[in-house]
Amino acid sequence: MKYIDEFQDPDLARRLLDRIHATVTRPWALMEVCGGQTHTIIRHGIDQLLPDEVELIHGPGCPVCVTPLEVIDKALEIASRPEVIFCSFGDMLRVPGTGRDLFGVRGEGGDVRVVYSPLDALRIAQQNPDRQVVFFGIGFETTAPPNAMTVHQARKLGIRNFSLLVSHVRVPPAIEAIMRSPDCRVQAFLAAGHVCSVMGTGEYPALAERHRVPIVVTGFEPLDILEGVRRTVEQLERGEHTVDNAYPRAVRAEGNPAARAMLDDVFEVTDRAWRGIGVIPRSGWRLAERYREFDAEHRFSVHGIDTVEPAACRAGEVLQGLLKPHQCEAFGTVCTPRTPLGATMVSSEGACAAYYLYRRLDAAPARQEATSVV
Ligand code: SF4
C-alpha cells in the first residue's frame, strides 16, 4: 500500500475483523499505549467492532495528560515573569494548572507564544537577546529528539537566553509500572509505533519475557490498529509472548540512530512523576549536567508551588486503564473540553477528549450499533 487512505479501506478492515473474530475463543484485555491510537479506535468505532471477548484498555500515552501538575504550575509561574517569552505547542495552553492555565497567563499580560517547533523558540531567542525565552519541552520519545537538538544547537550558537522546561517521559518504564500494579488486567500491549521509530524495539523483549505479555508494535491508521490486534490476539490464543513489529513501514529494530545519539548527548535518564500516576523509576529524561545551564528549572528558581488537583477528576485512573472516561461522574457535565477539570479532557490525544469528541457518552458502549470503521 502506498497511500494513507488505503490504510482506511473498509473491505480490508472487514477481512481483518473476520480473521480476529475467527481467532478469538476467550476474553482478552489489550492495552493500546498511545493516545493517538485511542483516538483512532474511538473515532472509527474499532472497539465496538471487535469480538465481545476483546477489550481495548486505553493507556497512559498522552504526553500532555501525564505532565505533572507541579510542572504545569512551574510553567505558569515562569511564564508570568515580565522578562520571559514562554513558548509552547498549542495543546499545552488550555491544560489546567492549579487555578489557571497558560491562556490565563497570557490574558493577564504574560508573553506566551504558540510555536510549531522548538527551533521557532530558539529563533525568537536570537531575535530578542534582552529577553529570556523558555520552551516547554514535554512528551515521549517522539518529541524529545527535536528538543534535544535545539538545546544542542543553542549551545553551539552560544545563545544564552534560551532554556528548556523539561518534562520528558519514556514508555518502557510505564509498561513495567502498569504490569507491576496489583490492579493490572492487561494481558498484551499495542506498543506505540512512533516511539519505536525513534527508539527501536530493543527494550521490549525483556518486558515481554518478564511479564509474559505479547507486545506488538502498532501504527495509527484503522488497518494498523486492526492488524496489531490480530497479531496480538493470535499470540495470546497460542500462548506466546513475543515482540512483533506490525508497523514495519516506519519502525526498524534499531530505531533512529541519529535521534538516539542526540538524546544520549543532551539528556540523562531520571525518575519522573506522571500526572495522576505518581513517580515511575527511570521513566523520564532531564538535561545532562553539561547542558544544565539550559535547564529552565535551574535558571529560574521557582518555590512555593502548592498543587491542588480537582477532587472530582479521575484522570489518574483513566490513564492507568482502570476507568473508562464516561465512567467518571464529571464527564460531559462539569467537565467538558470548554470547562476541563483534567488534562485528559483537553489534549488532542486525551482519552476523555476522544470519548467526548466522538460522542461516546454512555457508560455501556452500543456494540451492536457499530457498522463501520471508516
Ligand atoms: S472526564 Fe474530566 S474530570 Fe473525569 S477523568 Fe476525564 S478529565 Fe478528569
Q: Is residue 350 within 8 Å of 64, Cβ to Cβ?
A: yes
Please choose from 329, 345, 356, 357 the residue to mutate so as to test ligand 1's pocket, defined by most ligand atoms within 8 A of CB: 345
pLDDT-derived band at 2 (thresholds 50, 70, 90) equals low
At 372 the pLDDT is 35
At 306 the pLDDT is 84
Mean pLDDT of 83-108: 94
- Using only C-alpha atoms, the chain has a radius of gyration, in whole angstroms, of 21
Q: Is the C-beta atom of 20 inside 6 A of ligand 1?
A: no
At 6 the pLDDT is 82
Residue 259 and residue 194: Cα distance in Å, rounded?
13
Fold match flag (4-59+183-245 vs 65-170+255-299): yes
Q: Is the C-beta atom of 318 inside 6 A of ligand 1?
A: yes
> What is this structure's pTM?
0.92
Residue 56 and residue 354: Cα distance in Å, rounded?
14
CATH, domain range 4-59+183-245? 3.40.50.11750
Q: What CATH fold (topology level) applies to the domain 65-170+255-299?
A: Rossmann fold (3.40.50)
pLDDT digits (tens, 9 = 90+) for 173-212: 999 999 999 989 999 999 999 999 999 999 999 999 999 9
Q: Is the C-beta atom of 95 inside 6 A of ligand 1?
A: no
At 366 the pLDDT is 40
Residue 254's Cβ-count burial label (10 Å; 0-12, 13-18, 19+) is: exposed
Q: Is residue 216 within 8 Å of 244, Cβ to Cβ?
A: yes
Please choose from 318, 323, 324, 334 the residue to mutate so as to test ligand 1's pocket, defined by most ligand atoms within 8 A of CB: 318
What the block records as the C-alpha cell of 47 is 472497539
Kindly list the domain boundaries of the chain, sorted by start residue: 4-59+183-245, 65-170+255-299, 315-369
